[in-house]
Structure 1
Amino acid sequence: MTTQTSTVADDAPDPAPADGGGREPRSGLRGHPWLTLVTVAFGVAMVALDGTIVAIANPAIQHDLDASLADVQWITNGYLLALAVSLITAGKLGDRFGHRQTFLGGVVGFAAASAAIGLSGSVALVITFRVLQGLCGALLMPAALGLLRASFPAERLNAAIGIWGAVIGASTAAGPIVGGLLVEHKGWESVFFINIPVGALALVMGLVLLLDRRSKDAPRSFDLLGILLLSGAMFCLVWAIIKAPDWHWGDPRTLGFLAVSALAFGVFGFWETRVAEPLLPMSMFRSIPLTAGTVLMVLMAFGFMGGIFFVTFYLQNVNGLSPVDSGLRLLPLTAMMIVASPLAGAVITKVGPRVPLAGAMILAAVAMFGLSTLEADSGMGVTSLWFALLGLGLAPVMVGATEVIVGNAPLQHAGVAGGLQQAAMQVGGSLGTAVLGAVMASRVGSELPRKWAEAKLPPLSGEKEAALRDAAEVGIAPVPKGTPERMAEAIEHAVHGAFVSGMGLAFICAGIVSVLAAGVAVFTSRGKNDAGPSVHV
């Protein structure tokens, strides 16, 4: 790795690129690396906060707009589809037109879509503007990473991404608590209106402080066929994952969408080796560390998002906690991620990513196996222990795998690399939620009849048994009004026992995936491409 250095002062302008490159010269505070980090942090915080705060608002939206359960699911699924399908293309837009412009466009669009959702009078409009939110979030996130990649030299990039990860952790942690307070006191609309002042601040700071750093080798054209092929492949993959719980994995529709996705990915990969300026250069994957970082991100998100999906149901429906109290119970997880992310960045900077990432995934695996032992009446002490250990294991991976992917990509493809990192996380999380959800549903379906019989409860008809199984899969014990207290306790014991058994199996699977991820982490290494300016920061 060759990294240019200079004794030029921090506030001196960058030397002009050899070809004129379209890159703005640095002047004063504009383009300062740490101020760039602070600025993009506000935009990233807005998106990360939205990821958890909206889930708290969904029940209120359902009641206020008279929406069906399917409608509410599409409030999340529409956003997820738009985000996953467009991330890599959005990263390419940043590489082509500049990450500053793309970031600012994403901030404005995300805040405007949020305002439109808050003013919507129908669930159809809410879903429509959530899709727009997803598209704008896709513009914003890779651009933020592209700006960091271009602003920090290689030896400081881990520290910057560590702080970036802490911001995401803090915003994610704040979502359930802030969302609960806003919905309770101001209404569900306020959950979206909160993005307006945050977006306005990010926009003003971005206009004043961000510098457009583009490589002289930035792409000059678009791979339109590549965009269509990749978008189609990602859509079919994520659609199949979303619909699999309803259709089932063996259903011809699920298999059909997966087959079309695999075919589109294959054609896309072939086309990218033939086109002059590819959307996603296949040459990037000649880098074993970059490829390993991408696989690691998929596996980490699979285990984490797939396993943690059930925890909210466990806390609220089994332990009986309110949404706000559930958020507080999860604070050991998110607080440890906030604290450990910058520390992980510093450690990885000193010793490289290989050992910290492998060790972190082993810690995450231990935490997953520990969470698999939870009982229906497990107290705060034991859950806090495993949540804290999980946060300690996840933080280095969030930071290190991101740096491995972005840092090993050439500067002219920094946006695409940022989009690849985000897409890997989205696909991994979606797969984990769907696959582990199927594992859990299968275990609940087998355990519930046995526990029901052990409790000597009266047999149920086919329709009632199916309804009971559906409720048990999310930890709800449907006790009819007027049920004798002893029978009500027996129903709760049977349902919660079946749910906890299913959750335990899901966490065991997540732990096994985490162990596999530790093996993949062995193939990672520090970025070999110069990460930015030729000045000390």
Structure 2
Amino acid sequence: MSRVNDSKPDGSKSSDRAFEPRRAWLMLAVVTLGTTMVSLDGTIVLLAQPALQADLGASLEQVQWVTAAYLLAVGSLLIVSGGIGDRIGNRWTFLIGVTGFAVSSGLIASVHDINWLIGLRVLQGLSGAVLQPSTMGLLREAFPDDRLDMPIAVRSAAIGISTAAGPVVGGLLVEHVSWRAAFLINIPMGMLTIALGSWIWRGRPASRPTTSFRRGFDVPGALILGTLLFTVFLGVSTVTERGVLDPRSAALIAAAAALAWLFLLREQRAADPLLPPALLRTPPLWAGLLLVISLSFTMIGTLFVISYYVQNQLGLRPVEGGLHVLPLTGTLIVVAPLSGIAMRRVGARVVVCAGLAVTADAVYGLSRLGTHPGSLELSLLLFTLGLGLAPALAGSTKIVVSQVPAPLGGLAGGLHQTGMQIGSGIGIAAMGTMLGSRAEDLLRKALHKAGANSTDQRFVRQAIDDVSVGLHRPLAHTPPALRGTWDELSSSIFMDAMSYALLAGVVVALAGVAVTVPGALAERRGRRDE
């Protein structure tokens, strides 16, 4: 297996540095707080958007940009900011990112104009892009390579737990306080993170990159890569909305391909490349990133679809829905440390393979749910989902990180988080589109069967919008032939569409298993031969 050499200039390995257990675990606590703040914010904001829209009088397009502006900013700069952290020190980029994220959150909570809010979301995204890669860099500094499994498992669990807990926390804040509280919560979390980090680092000089990794910064490469990732994220959104054959979609795809070629050409010629050419020629790194993308596609896409099922189809309030998600959150907490132990014993690829297989089984089970399942059935499926996600998150992170030299820990974090963002964006876009298009197709067939082809198009449009997200409220201009059966019909259409969309998560998770199996078998043979 090819791997970039991570030796220090004096010939020693990065894992040989002095290990201070107490300080290292405190560092993990700081990293977990910062990671949780960013991950929690993503799903909390989704719950706050309807209240935000009503309070600020925003259009649907403007509200969509509240999320899109953040994702474009954070996704475009993750790898670049990871490279900057490796050069100036991950401690500084972490503190700058946490401070910027907390301050921008406070400013967002104070605005009364949607355009200002969108602009501040860009600032918040930039801060998140600076913060997230540095968390992995800090762990690489605190833990030697042979002790990284458990910290990676804990960090991965923090991402999964905060993502799953976001709807609960967001529902409580929006329902009992205000949508502004969904942003204000980041201020005390940021202050606690900064205070704990400052206490740990008090009197200790910041670690400096080794001489072989601090010659300079590839500004042209960073600009090309940032533009490339911006184009990729914008392209995903445009293709979802307009289709692949739309001229704007085709132009973005062509631009992304050209920028990718230009970036590879630049990195081969740069004196101090942002991504060393040896990394670009490492197949296990690309395989690891593919696993991260497939996992985040399935995880975030499934949670996106299931949130509509729990709140709209089952008619549960956010807090009640959150209680149903507790088995998933609890399983992530319990299984995360066990995943770290398992990786040390059987290897990361074996853990990922098993985790993705269990995840695929759980998502398939969710796709077969009925309109009114028992609480035990739903809880067991979410428990199984957590049982698969915890090891898959930890193992896929370890695969990516292990291919990058320790002095480039920030870059490793940037690569991993970029893969997570790409997978999440594609997962929400693809599964959301499948949910909507399937619901529209089934509804139009039902109207045709009922002889209601000439139905008022305002009803058709509103019905499609409602049914696509599991709402079954009475609508004006409902055709007479459907008035007595509308609730039952709309419910069955949504369940069919949900099953159809979730099958995409099953297929992608199983594709991840197929990618992992050869490496897992080789890993097992290698350990038996030791």
Taking structure 1 as the reference length, the TM-score comes to: 0.88
In 2, the alpha carbon distance for the partners of 1:209 and 1:453 equals 67
CA distance in 2 between counterparts of 1:361 and 1:277 reads: 37
Distance 2:177 2:151 in 1: 36
Residue of structure 1 equivalent to 2:277? 282
Q: Which residue of 1 aligns with 2:500?
A: 505
1:140 counterpart = 2:135: no
Cα distance in structure 1, aligned partners of 2:158 and 2:377: 27
Are 1:449 and 2:444 matched, yes or no?
yes
1:491 aligns with 2:486: yes
- The one-letter amino acid of 1:279's match is L
Task: Specify the code of the residue in structure 1 equivalent to 2:64.
Answer: Q
2:87 and 2:355 map into 1 onto residues whose CA distance is 36
Distance in structure 2 (CA, Å) of the matches to 1:484 and 1:511: 37
In the other structure, the counterpart of 1:342 is 337
- Whether 1:213 aligns to 2:204 is no
Amino acid at match of 2:308: F
Q: Secondary structure in 1 aligned to 2:269?
A: coil
Q: Spell out the pairing of 1:471-490 with structure 2 (5 A cutoff).
A: 471-480=466-475, 488=483, 490=485
Residues 166 and 338 of structure 1 are in contact (CA less than 8 Å); yes or no, is this contact kept in structure 2?
yes
CA distance in 2, matches of 1:338, 1:95: 30
Specify whether residues 336 and 113 from structure 1 end up closer, same or farther in structure 2 by C-alpha distance, changes over 3 A only.
same
Q: Match of 1:230, as an amino acid?
A: L
Q: Does 1:85 align with 2:76?
A: yes
Which of 372, 396, 405 aligns to 2:400? It is: 405
Distance 1:428 1:454 in 2: 38
* Alpha-carbon distance between aligned partners in 1 of 2:493 and 2:261, rounded to the nearest angstrom: 41
Tell me how far 1:395 sits from its aligned partner: 0.9
Query: 1-side partners of 2:129 and 2:368: how far apart?
Result: 37
Alpha-carbon shift at residue 381 of structure 1 (Å): 2.3
Matched to 1:316, the amino acid is Q
Residue equivalent to 1:58: 49
Comparing 417-426 with 318-327, which one deviates more in the overlay? 318-327
- Counterpart among 95, 100, 120 of residue 109 in structure 1: 100
> What count of residue pairs does the alignment treat as equivalent?
507
What letter corresponds to residue 354 of structure 1 in structure 2? Answer: R
Aligned residue for 2:173, secondary structure, equals: helix
| Percent identity between the two aligned chains | 38
How far did residue 289 of structure 1 move? 2.6
> Which stretch has the larger CA shift, 487-496 or 370-379?
487-496
Pick aligned residue for 1:309 from 289, 304, 313: 304
SS at match of 1:32: helix
**More displaced stretch, 468-477 vs 248-257:** 468-477
Q: From 467, 470, 480, give the equivalent of 2:465.
A: 470
Q: Residues 297 and 401 of structure 1 are in contact (CA less than 8 Å); yes or no, is this contact kept in structure 2?
A: yes
Q: Give how far 1:512 is off.
A: 1.2
Match of 2:25?
34
2:239 maps to what in 1? 244
Q: Report deviation, 1:344.
A: 0.6
Secondary structure at 1:276 match in 2 = coil
Counterpart-to-counterpart distance in 1, 2:490 and 2:392 = 35
The structure-2 alpha-carbon separation of the partners of 1:48 and 1:524, relative to structure 1 and needing over 3 Å to count, comes to farther
| Range moving further from structure 2, 435-444 or 342-351 | 435-444
Aligned partner (choices 110, 116, 132) of residue 125 of structure 1? 116
**Partner residue of 2:175?**
184
Residue 379 of structure 1 pairs with residue 374 of structure 2: yes
Summarize deviations over 1:48-92 as a string: whole Å, max 9, x none.
Answer: 221221122112111111111112111111111111101001101
The 10-residue stretch of structure 1 (165-174 or 135-144) with the greater mean CA deviation from structure 2 = 165-174
Q: Tell me, what secondary structure is at the counterpart of 1:188?
A: coil
| 1:165 paired to 2:156 | yes
Where structure 1 has 5 or more consecutive residues not aligned to the other structure, the ranges are 2-15, 20-24, 529-537
- Cα distance 1:252–1:460, how it changes in 2: closer, same or farther (>3 A)? same
Structure 2: 5+ residue stretches without partners? 2-7, 12-16, 524-530
Query: Are the counterparts in 2 of residues 367 and 386 from structure 1 also a CA contact under 8 Å?
Result: yes
SS in 1 for 2:148: helix
Q: How big is the shift at 1:426?
A: 0.5
In the alignment, structure 1 residue 233 sits paired with structure 2 residue 224? no
Equivalent residue number for residue 365 of structure 1: 360
Paired residues of 2:459 and 2:477 also in contact (CA < 8 A) = no
Corresponding letter in the other structure for 2:126: L
